[in-house]
Chains A and B, each alone.
Chain A
């Protein structure tokens, strides 16, 4: 064996490896794959248990369910016959090749911000996924929302097509973050409140809302800096986005799903950019925290109301919660969230805390946490009254000072 022979072998292997990866636009495909993940296309366009991108998942809206279409390259039932311009028009203008208007459950009002090059990369990737023959299902929207032509009026009122325009007053990194948040990752889809007709309120961008139908309260992300002890920084936020964990709590409910299916794939540059952009939006006071200026008190609800509401809260907490979250809300191990200084615990709206106790569940699965920890779904073990007791106890102790108690029927409504 000579060096020359080894060299030939190495060359053959290397060239072979490159050839296998595909033609010259393998870079575009890789980029398209990455962007498709950031857009979280698969999450909505896949029915659990069915092939990826073959559609059929019901998106619940206050106007009735919308069933996502098949976006695999199948020619008969997917988007295999769509031209590049067809695809761009759907993404940029929200219009189907036959001229029909798409409903805004498809976030075209965000995707319109995308550069054409990025849209084409996404298309290139989607054309490589396995074609699946699966007929689209008609929507079950209530009248009059079922009349697609009404979307014309809606668009006149609420939609402006147009790609993101760089703001020269800010850095390249900030602009990259804004481009992603407003466009591809469509954070406003949940974090911006909507009006009665499902349109986002631009003046209140990213200031939180309630996800239609599912009950989770979406936090305001323009006022993260509410705590002196463990403030959200760009680093904390970046950690939260890619891992679903942070010193201020774990991603729960729908946000856990977004971390799991999309944000965990963010590369360092984009994660930094999104964090930098969101941190720059901070406005100081937090309208959402029930006690922005806590009044020191040891007895919480007891002191306020003069009597203890749901007195079993304390003993239930010690029995069911303290093993993991600690006797005083300070977790015993780094992998369980603290209940002191937790945004979720002290939010004005108690629903997320109650939902977390009711439904429990696993943390997000990510590269650094392949085997996540979990919390029991207490809906199977505890009554509404018992859960309300725990909620009230947790929200009014150890430096948490929420004074307005939660009633059992509110917990019951979330089951």
Chain B
């Protein structure tokens, strides 16, 4: 019995200690369906499963399915911090991503990264053009110091998470062309891609993107794929 006051005092101090620690997370992460219904804003351009909605956007908006999650997360941060702008009609991506928490951006990146949306049929391109594109992708142009695409984007062009390089295989040709234009105009800042667009004739860039766009990888799982943790939706 003589210990009782000490026990009470200890309990009180422990409660002080625990009240100082950060609170447990307010809610579990939403599951796949929960994310799908939450991301209606994204689906308008990128499709429900991140397939890029080629039928309405005609390839203007990129396929997100199967991209390395780290790449998707970083791009969203660029948009929310305004280091990447210029998405039509008027900086739409910046406005959409304003004020979303980091943990939510990670969940969104993971959602699209894990999506296994099928690829649409690719456009018919003359074999000679595809052949030239393949050569550029595999070899680069050594005389100009331009390296192969596969070096950074992976042997199958499915992206390299550790280099921060996105998947290219099967990406829309029109979207890729728009990116080259953005590098040329400085909308996206990347010295290396700017150099490519400055040194290669437009016809060869067209061949390059036509080849990349024609690829159909066997799996859409990105190199940094992790199985989603089982979770329950905080809001049904």
Contacts and interface: CB of A to CB of B under 8 A. Distances in A.
B207 to A, nearest CB: 30
Contact of B95 (A361, A368, A415): A361
Interface stretch (B23-31, B178-186, B220-228): B23-31
Given A17-B20, A377-B96, A379-B89, A7 B107 contact: no
Given A3-B3, A371-B38, A380-B92, A49 B82 contact: yes
Contact of B13 (A11, A334, A373, A415): A11
B44 A376 contact: yes
A362 B95 CA distance: 9
A17 to B, nearest CB: 5
Interface residues of B, number: 47
B103 A7 contact: no
B98 interface: yes
Given A17-B17, A49-B83, A367-B26, A324 B98 contact: no
Contact of A371 (B82, B94, B104): B104
A381 B16 contact: no
B95 A365 contact: no
Contact of B10 (A7, A377, A378): A7
Interface in A375-406: 375-381
A415 B88 CA distance: 11
Contacts of B163: none
Contacts, number: 111
Given A10-B14, A365-B99, A378-B44, A370 B27 contact: yes
A236 to B, nearest CB: 19
A374 B34 CA distance: 12
Interface residues on A, range: 35 or more
B45 interface: yes
B40 interface: yes
Nearest to A363: B38
A335 interface: yes
The 4 closest A-B pairs by CB, nearest first: A49-B81, A376-B44, A374-B41, A10-B13
24 contacts: A7-B6, A7-B9, A48-B81, A49-B80, A49-B81, A257-B98, A360-B41, A361-B41, A362-B100, A365-B101, A368-B26, A370-B103, A371-B38, A371-B104, A372-B38, A373-B38, A374-B38, A374-B40, A375-B40, A377-B95, A379-B89, A380-B89, A381-B56, A415-B89
Interface of A: 3, 6-7, 10-11, 13-14, 17, 47-49, 257, 260-261, 324, 333-335, 359-362, 364-365, 367-381, 415
